[in-house]
Structure 1
Amino acid sequence: MSDQDAPQKDLLAGRLLLLGKFHGAFGIKGEVKLESFTDPPERIFKYQPWTLRDAQGRERACTDARGRATPKGVVARVPGIEDRDAADAMRGTEVWVPRSTLPPPAPGEYYWVDLEGLRVANIEGVDFGTVSHLFSTGANDVMVVQGDRERMIPFVEPDFIKSVDFEARLVTVDWDADF
């Protein structure tokens, strides 16, 4: 990575990522139902400290959250939440973590957030714009590219995604410019 790329790496490292969301009380002792976006779901507890953001956008730091997987999903114990009413008040609160808390992806794997903002061009060199975001369809992931128009390209390697070059900040795709 060149010195010119260092600010982008620092920006990603400090960026907060949404990893979960609370869905109300679990039992009467202050535990909270937690929808985790990690795989496996209980891995969310390894990525702390958390920033908890409520529906009004208010944030507070959280360290030392604990939890477990149950047949009904992940259950969390959050410091300061001691009863059912306090746990239920957490409903809708999001769990955000610094990108820097996540381990480096394995070779050939990518965090979606790291792809956002990269330029996208096809193998003929036609510039499509930049990666806006990705989403999953169940069958495969889809890369949404914003440029002269919006394109949705299946994130399937090597069929459509030919290369991802972070140094060049470029994703090369095998995709017709008219499609």
Structure 2
Amino acid sequence: MSKTMTKWIEMGRTAGPYGVKGWIRISPAGEGDLLLGSRAWAFRPAAGGDPRPLELEGARAHGGMIIAKWKGCDSPEEARLWRGTILLERSAFPELPEGEWWAADLEGCEVVNRAGDRLGTVTGLGSNGAQDILQVKGAAHSYLIPMVPAYLLGVEPEKKLITVDWDPDWF
């Protein structure tokens, strides 16, 4: 019998207590709206270990942060003990329209150019203000490849493969 592996995606980090009733400030990592739209949160302590589900009692945006309350945290003193990462299961993410991808699905993808040269692996996504940028780490060089049709030829997250029109000398 095969056991399905849960893919956990880091969505933020705890940032200390908020108020006197056990609310905790969360510094979101990217998709704060996605975190607020889900109730299937998990917590991984800063010291490491397996994620454990949280029974969320409430969450809302507050400035550039999120404040949240979950069962088992009822005071500022308890909130200070919750140091770590807030996670969501990848399966909780909504489907995107054709031609859009979640950053979590692109990270770890191998990037090759049209000639078949391996450029490296996607380590993250950034932005230059005009478009998203693939951050690719290769053996000898790192690349910042704009995610525009002129350079992005194919994205196959299920195969962990991205094909680009990019010369290895353009770093």
Q: Which interval holds the TM-score relative to the shorter structure? A: 0.7 to 0.9
Q: Which amino acid aligns with 1:135?
A: L
8 Å Cα contact 1:36/1:42 also seen in 2:
no
- The one of 4, 8, 14 equivalent to 1:16 is 8
Corresponding residue for 2:74?
Answer: 82
Whole-Å separation in 1 of the counterparts to 2:44 and 2:92: 18
Corresponding residue for 2:149?
Answer: 158
8 Å Cα contact 1:45/1:66 also seen in 2:
no
Whole-Å separation in 2 of the counterparts to 1:35 and 1:169: 29
Corresponding residue for 1:145?
Answer: 136
Aligned-pair CA distance for 1:167: 5.9
The number of aligned residues is 166
Corresponding residue for 2:113?
Answer: 122
What TM-score do you get using the length of structure 2 for normalisation? 0.80
CA pair 61-169 structure 1, distance change in 2 beyond 3 A: closer
Is 1:135 paired with 2:146? no
Task: Name the one with the larger helix percent.
Answer: 1
What TM-score do you get using the length of structure 1 for normalisation? 0.77
CA pair 106-37 structure 1, distance change in 2 beyond 3 A: farther
Whole-Å separation in 1 of the counterparts to 2:91 and 2:102: 12
Whole-Å separation in 1 of the counterparts to 2:146 and 2:71: 39
- The one of 44, 66, 83 equivalent to 1:53 is 44
Whole-Å separation in 1 of the counterparts to 2:22 and 2:158: 47
CA pair 151-88 structure 1, distance change in 2 beyond 3 A: same
Whole-Å separation in 2 of the counterparts to 1:178 and 1:161: 17
Aligned-pair CA distance for 1:168: 5.5
Whole-Å separation in 1 of the counterparts to 2:80 and 2:139: 45
Report the RMSD for the aligned CA atoms in angstroms.
2.6
Identity %: 25
Where does structure 2 lack aligned partners over 5 or more consecutive residues? none
8 Å Cα contact 2:22/2:79 also seen in 1:
yes
8 Å Cα contact 2:113/2:163 also seen in 1:
yes
Whole-Å separation in 1 of the counterparts to 2:126 and 2:81: 30
Where does structure 1 lack aligned partners over 5 or more consecutive residues? 1-6
Corresponding residue for 1:3?
Answer: none
4+ runs deviating over 6 angstroms: none
Q: Which amino acid aligns with 1:164?
A: V
